[in-house]
Structure 1
């Protein structure tokens, strides 16, 4: 389906945090959801623990699972003395005797599962590890609210790296409509060096998503357009789904 392992974006955990961290509104959304569903929380595809640690620092009992060892290693360093377990595992095949009051993914991680089989396996993992009545929440980009046309390389933005250097970020995109997969190539330019990384994400339409969740046994409780809990509309760029295990 793709000619890489879909992990090239995650080779530099410290700079990853500097480029993508600080989304407090998102972390607050999951924090408030966890408070409404007290118990042990699990974040799947937790990466460097940006969301996991935000919740842990505010008293939530939480664990994180990810397949990329360097990201987890940095998460453990950041955790210091916090009682957080970071587990290296594939979210499609993760197994534990622990049952959780809430499971979530963020960073559009659901879109990294590129096939029907991958998505079903992920949802099965979440369902199996929830307590009865437990909550499963995640966001994804809405294909009907995004421009999926092919684009040549253009400037996307900047960030300041661990050494205080301003890094220019540019990229291009190519969409495979048949497989519903967007292929992004990102170029980061330090001035004296460049890195290139590739990532593929699946754009599942909202109706298909609802069918997938229902098939797995989830009840779709709510869908939002943003972290402020604005009601989702068909043209919203993002859809946040909050589901319950029956």
Structure 2
């Protein structure tokens, strides 16, 4: 079976942070490098901030995440501050110039109260003029309909750090309103299941999203429908937002 530490390592294999290869990473990297103080909310294993430090960022870098195993992996880098907590625990009055939520982490905020509390905390962690950049999948694209082992693009074959050949895929268990509940299954080459990872994701449309942002005191400055900075459409894959605290 896969332990929590194995799952944290697996995340890095499934989601390597590389601005040279991945358009989403290429979007965030210059924002991080151009900010003197950065809070990465939902930092996971810390790949984004680790790379920023490796490439010469000399300012304050703080990663915040509730997953202890992921943070233990992140803490291999000792010159970044790694803090256990949720988005709503973002430190008010901290004076960050930039806050981020990458990897669609915003979609793990499932209730209105959780969204409001998280945005209020992030707003409070930024100094006046500070920026909050994040993305969420556009509900019109209905991405969950492609999260199935019947879709070859959703099945990932990989080899882990121990040399084990693995296969990873998704199954959707339910769609209730704007919340999708799914499972990620990890199996070995013989098909034996090693770990099942469950999660729920919320798909907010532009109008609802902007209502929450305005309620928290943010002003939307940039909005894109994909990583090439095209406009948000009806069925485009993403809602990418750069909002500012006035």
TM-score normalised by the shorter chain: which range applies? 0.7 to 0.9
Hey, what does 2:133 align to over in structure 1?
137
1:235 alignment counterpart: 235
- DSSP 3-state at the match of 1:185: strand
Q: Contact 1:44 / 1:103 at 8 angstroms: preserved in 2?
A: yes
- Which residue number in structure 2 is paired with residue 19 of structure 1? 14
List per-residue Cα deviations over 1:72-98 (Å, max 9, x = no partner). 010011x1x5x2101111221333542
Matched, 1:48 2:45: yes
Q: Does the aligned pair in 1 maintain the 2:218–2:243 contact within 8 Å?
A: yes
Which residue number corresponds to residue 27 of structure 2? 29
CA distance in 2, matches of 1:69, 1:16: 14
What per-residue deviation string (whole Å, max 9, x for no partner) do you get for residues 138-162 of structure 1? 0111101124459765352222211
Match of 1:5 in 2: none
Mapped to 2, the partners of 1:30 and 1:152 lie a distance apart of: 29
Q: What is the alpha-carbon root mean square deviation over aligned residues?
A: 2.2
Contact 1:223/1:241, CA 8 A, preserved across alignment:
yes
**Structure 2 CA distance, aligned partners of 1:220 and 1:10?**
37
Farther-moved stretch of structure 1 (219-228 vs 148-157):
148-157
Matches within 5 A, 1:138-217: 138-149=134-145, 153-154=149-150, 156-178=155-177, 180-191=178-189, 193-194=192-193, 195-217=195-217
Q: Which 5+ residue runs of structure 1 have no aligned equivalent?
A: 1-7
Give the equivalent residue in structure 1 for 2:115. Answer: 119
TM-score, normalization by structure 2: 0.87
Determine the structure 2 residue equivalent to 1:104.
100
Identify which range, 215-224 or 21-30, moves more after superposition: 21-30
Kept after mapping to 2: 8 A contact 1:9/1:197: no
Runs of 4+ in 1 over 3 A off after TM superposition: 8-11, 147-155
Question: CA, structure 1 residues 152+64, in 2 after alignment: closer, same or farther (shift >3 Å)?
Answer: closer
Unaligned runs of 5+ in 2: none
Give 1:19 shift.
1.4
Q: TM-score w.r.t. structure 1 length?
A: 0.87
Mapped to 2, the partners of 1:94 and 1:34 lie a distance apart of 17
Is residue 27–residue 55 contact of structure 1 (8 Å, CA) maintained in 2? no
CA displacement at 1:232 relative to structure 2: 2.3
Contact 2:94 2:127 in 1 (8 A): no
Does structure 2 conserve the Cα–Cα contact (< 8 Å) formed by 1:45 and 1:91? yes
Secondary structure, aligned partner of 1:233: coil
- Inter-partner Cα distance in structure 2 for 1:9 and 1:242: 33
